[in-house]
Each structure stands twice: as C-alpha cells, then as structure tokens.
Structure 1
Amino acid sequence: MSSMNAATSGQGKADLQRADGSPVRVVVVDDEETLAELVSMALRMEGWEIRSAGNGTDAVRVAREFRPDAVVLDVMLPDFSGLEVLAKLRAELPNVPVLFLTARDAVEDRIAGLTAGGDDYVTKPFSLEEVVLRLRALLRRSHAVSASAGSTLVVGDLTLDEDSREVHRAGESVSLTATEFELLRFLMRNPKRVLSKAQILDRVWSYDFGGQANIVELYISYLRKKIDAGREPMIHTMRGAGYVLKPAT
C-alpha cells in the first residue's frame, strides 16, 4: 500500500474540491486489498485524499473520523453487508454519496442497493475510469464540493477540455477516440511525471488487465501520431520506467 501511495503523490491541482478549497475526501471500502489499492490509487490521481477500510466496522470508524465527501462501498464484506454499512454511514453522514461495488450483476441486487439509499452501482469487473467518472458525477451533484474555474487541462501548447472533450495542439484541433482521450487526459493530469505501464493500465483500462501491457504501447503510438506528428514531441518513452508527457522545448 505504501509504495502505491508514494507512486501516486504529487499530482496537479484537482478540478473538484471542497468548499473550503481543500482536496475532496473519499473512503474506499473493499476486503480485496489489491482492488482497494488500485481504486485508491486511481482516485489519488484526481488529487483527492483517500482512506480505505477492509470491513464494515472499520469503514464506519474511518468515515466518522475522516468525514468523507463520498464513499466507494463493496456490497460483500466479511462482517456486515454493504447495505448494513450504508445504513450506519448514513446515520453519521446523512448526505454522503455512496457508490456501490459488487460482483453481483442481478437486477434485483442493483435495485436493493439503490433502494437502500446508494447513489450509484458498478459491477465487477469494472474499469477504474468508470469508477472515477461516476464518482465525479456524484460529487458534482453534491453540495459538499465545487468545481474549480474551468475544466481545461493545459500542458505547453496542448489543451484538453474535459467537458467538451475537445483537444487542440498549437491551436489546431486533434480528433481522438474515447480511449485515446482518456489516456491523454491521464498523461496531462500528471505532466512531467513518469507513469508506468501498470499505472496507465490500471487508470485507463481495467484493474484486471492480465499483463497485456502491449496495449499501452499501441495507444501511445496512436497518440503520438495525432499529438506529436510534425511537431516537437511531447510524449516521451523512459526506457524501463514508462512514459511522460511534458511541454515541447
């Protein structure tokens, strides 16, 4: 856990923040330690403050102390069900948004979670990007956080508008597929920072990537053809370490 925390520190300013300007707080509750670490890592990449818990008892205690703006909650926990934990959380924090994670995909399970007061529902296996996007949507709808001015990422002469999903390099429009856009957004949220293939896979694709690291190389090559072609390169390969995006010199 500590190595992942270190690997995900130092990100840029988040576009969502608490009313007082401090980072958004999220509690991740899952008894699968690896999955909890990966979700936490993805959320830290947003510039958010994260706490985790592996069971319902700890989840309630952490939430009471941490006062989160949102909770990612696994339905199946070793001591209480996620629905029981939700009831205890809501007794402490009546308005906190809750995103359920579960291996169950039956319609009745989804209905039970939402009827109990959950705000959204993601079925395993899921992409980390989906979790982030759904949480961002829940947080935007809540009154506890606000969006900072603008949603445009800028690195050198490269700009990316997160709302309109428009990308420009030196004023020229760049057309990207959905996956290319998410990969570029991840790189631009972490400028001048080397990102490993594993980090990129975890953040842009799915936590269960099965070692298919070549997909990262493939999409990096796609981005280079669209972002760097005929221009000073911004996307660089750090042999044995990963990739980094930085302003052209």
Structure 2
Amino acid sequence: MEILVIEDEQRVAGLIQRGLEEQEFKVTLAFDGEMGKKLALTKTYDLIITDIILPKINGLDLCKQIRSAHPNIPIIMLTALGTTDDKVEGFDAGADDYLVKPFELRELYVRIRALLKRNSIKGKNPGFLLKYADLELNNQTKVVTRSGTEINLTPKELKLLEYMMQNSERVLSRSEIAEKVWDTHFDTGTNFIDVYINYLRKKIDKNFPGKLIHTRPGMGFIFKSE
C-alpha cells in the first residue's frame, strides 16, 4: 500500500513517514500543496494524507482538485483547526476523515486501516440504485433525484444520505452515523453531524411535500416517510 503525505512541517512529516513505514506502508512525502498536487495527479496512491495550512496551495483547494481527478481515493486531513466549522469545511472539500493535531500515530493507523478496508469493500460491490418513496440515489453515477428533480449534494452529504437510505425506518444515533459515515468517534463537543443533517434536509426535504428526515429527541435521526 502506498501513501502520499503532504505536510510542510518536515519534522511532523518525518515522524508520520517512519511510523507508517514501520506498519509496512510505502510513503512518499510532499512539503507544499503544489508538489502534493503534482504527485497526486501523476501517480496512483492508495491513500492521501494532507495538512490544511500548506504553502502554495492550501489543503482545502488541494483536496478539491484531487477529489475531482480521483473521486474514490481516500483522503485524511491533518490540521490544528478543530472547530465544527473547520471540520465541515474539510469534509465539504472532499476529505473522508479529519484528524486534529496533536494526534497519536496509532489513532492515525486505525483511521487509515478503516478507510482502506472501506475502499476495498466498495470496490468489490458495483453501484446500484437506491430508492425510497420518490427519492432515488444512483451509486454509480452519484446522481440524486426526488420526484424527477436532480439534487446536487457534496461528497459527505451523499455518503450520509446513502447510509440513511440503506438503514431507512431505523433510528440512527449520532455515534453510529459518526462511525459508519465518517469512520470516527462522535465528539460531543461538536455538532457537525447535526450540521450535515440540516444541510441534507434543506436539499431533499425543504422544497418537497413529504419529509423524509426526522429527529428523534435524545436518540438521533430516522429516515422514513411521514
């Protein structure tokens, strides 16, 4: 497995490289966004780790450009910015996971393994059409329609909707959503899951008569027809 690490702090990059190589990963380093972009777009990696605050091209713009060229490559963001808004911005840029500095290398290993496993399973299962009421999600084309109207979703909104449709008519806790959609443990100090639920509601419920996403106070959320 080959991993690209884009990190301008060479000491941190070196620590990550040594730690990952001990886990038998092959690691390539880039010390600015421009170098990271060039490597990411000219060679195929199994996973990319990038900081957000980078010289030349910041991590958010870099993530969007990589995601545009390689829709399925797992991307982990490493950053000192840990507020809900920062996380939402990172996920909206196309990141699959978000790790706040300082972090332990063993936590990074767990996140990497989870993303690689999920990507492997995804690769063995071709896309298909999910349907619920008048809502449709095509896993191959990533097109979402409701009553024939196409709805534009960000990558994370799409993953959240997909999980909720696959588990319709069942209450989903915030912890479960965090683990299954974000591959992370729910941080009670942030409300990024509620933020994404609200984003999704505005897009798939607001302009349509029947509501599909419902809150269960004290428990979580449920995807079902009214």
Normalized against structure 2, the TM-score is what?
A: 0.52
Distance 1:105 1:33 in 2: 21
Is 1:47 aligned with 2:59?
no
8 Å Cα contact 2:61-2:93 kept in structure 1: no
Structure 1 residues 69, 77: closer, same or farther in 2, change over 3 A? same
2:54 aligned to 58, 70, 77, which one? 77
Residue 34 of structure 1 is matched in structure 2 by 11
Give 1:65 shift: 3.2
User: Is 1:105 matched up with 2:82?
Assistant: yes
Structure 2: how far apart are the matches of 1:47 and 1:144? 21
- What is the one-letter code of the residue matched to 2:65? K
1:142 corresponds to 2:119: yes
Aligned pairs, number? 123
Cα displacement string for residues 116-162 of structure 1 (whole angstroms, at most 9, x for unaligned residues): 2110001011111111110111111003899xxxxxxxxxxxxxxxx
Structure 1 portions without partners, runs of 5+: 1-23, 147-249
Displacement of 1:105 in angstroms is 1.2
Task: Give the RMSD, CA atoms, in angstroms.
Answer: 1.7
Contact 1:73 1:82 (C-alpha < 8 Å) held by counterparts = yes
Q: Secondary structure at the match of 2:120?
A: coil
Aligned-partner SS, 1:143: helix
The 5-angstrom pairing of residues 156-235 of structure 1 reads none
Q: Distance in 2 between matches of 1:58 and 1:93?
A: 17
Which fold has the larger relative contact order, with Cα–Cα distance below 8 Å and residues 6 or more apart in sequence?
1
1:93 maps to 2:76: no
Aligned mates of 1:41, 1:99 — CA distance in 2: 18
Q: 2:110 aligns with which of 103, 116, 133?
A: 133
Alignment pair present for 1:64 and 2:49: no
Deviations 1:184-216 (Å, cap 9, x if unpaired)?
xxxxxxxxxxxxxxxxxxxxxxxxxxxxxxxxx
The amino acid across from 1:68 in the alignment is Y
Counterpart-to-counterpart distance in 1, 2:88 and 2:68: 21
* Identical-residue share of aligned pairs (%): 33
Given that 1:139 and 1:145 are in contact with CA atoms closer than 8 Å, whether structure 2 keeps it comes out as: no
Matched to 1:91, the amino acid is S
Q: Does 1:120 align with 2:101?
A: no
Deviation string 1:13-52 (CA, Å, 9 cap, x unpaired) is xxxxxxxxxxx11000100000001111111111111101
List 4+ stretches of structure 1 deviating above 6 A.
none
- One-letter identity of the residue aligned with 1:119: D
User: Tell me, which stretches of 5 or more residues in structure 2 are unaligned?
Assistant: 124-226
